[in-house]
């Protein structure tokens, strides 16, 4: 399935899953840096509306949560047909830069024309949180994995938000790696 067709299909399904407190945007821009000038003022005047080419990268899809009058980015999904080492290195780097500004952000790739995760992903990835080789789901017309993906990633984002922004003390941390098929 062509990347653009997959994005359209994903958007349709995702909109049925998300509650009113969430917004999903195609081609959303997110900051990748926030610098202070000589007066210790931010180099970006409007941090709530990042502009591509002005310290912001464009993403394929971003799910935002509406919190008061803010759209807080929760999950970014980049869509590819196939995966190369260059794609992994590029999007891992982009994910790291975005996550340095938005520490609760989850970032991943959905590849529509492959049916397994290539080993080079594990060798070269540093900052991507998830990867889905979606060919068999698309071929079978089974898009239920989208609902599970969104729910899981939003939940993890909210946990990261608590870690970074709430004044809590914890005595246990575990980073979990999950290998599975969605069905």
Chain segment 27-63, per-residue pLDDT in tens: 999 999 988 888 888 888 888 888 888 888 999 999 9
Residue 156 pLDDT more than 90? Answer: yes
pLDDT in tens, 104-138: 999 999 999 999 999 999 999 999 999 999 999 88
Section 139-160 average pLDDT: 89
Query: Which tokens sit at 3?
Result: 């990347």
Q: How far apart are CA 163 and CA 104, in angstroms?
A: 9
For residues 94 and 57, is the Cβ–Cβ distance under 8 A? yes
* CA distances to 42, 47, 106 from 98, in Å: 16, 13, 10
Complete domains list, the chain, with CATH: 3-165 (3.90.1570)
């Amino acid at each position: 399935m062509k990347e653009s067709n997959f994005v359209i299909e994903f958007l349709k399904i995702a909109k049925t899953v998300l509650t009113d407190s969430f917004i999903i945007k195609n081609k959303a821009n997110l900051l990748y840096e926030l610098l202070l000038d000589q007066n210790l003022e931010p180099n970006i005047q409007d941090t709530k509306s990042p502009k591509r080419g002005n310290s912001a990268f464009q993403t394929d899809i971003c799910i935002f949560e509406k919190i008061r009058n803010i759209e807080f980015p929760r999950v970014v999904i980049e869509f590819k047909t196939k995966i190369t080492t260059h794609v992994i290195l590029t999007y891992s780097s982009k994910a790291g830069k975005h996550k340095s500004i938005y520490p609760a952000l989850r970032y991943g790739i959905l590849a529509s024309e492959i049916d397994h995760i290539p080993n080079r992903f594990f060798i070269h990835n540093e900052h991507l949180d998830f990867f889905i080789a979606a060919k068999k789901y698309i071929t079978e017309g089974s898009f239920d994995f989208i609902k599970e993906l969104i729910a899981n990633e939003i939940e993890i984002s909210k946990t990261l938000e608590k870690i970074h922004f709430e004044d809590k003390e914890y005595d246990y941390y575990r980073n979990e790696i999950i290998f599975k098929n969605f069905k």
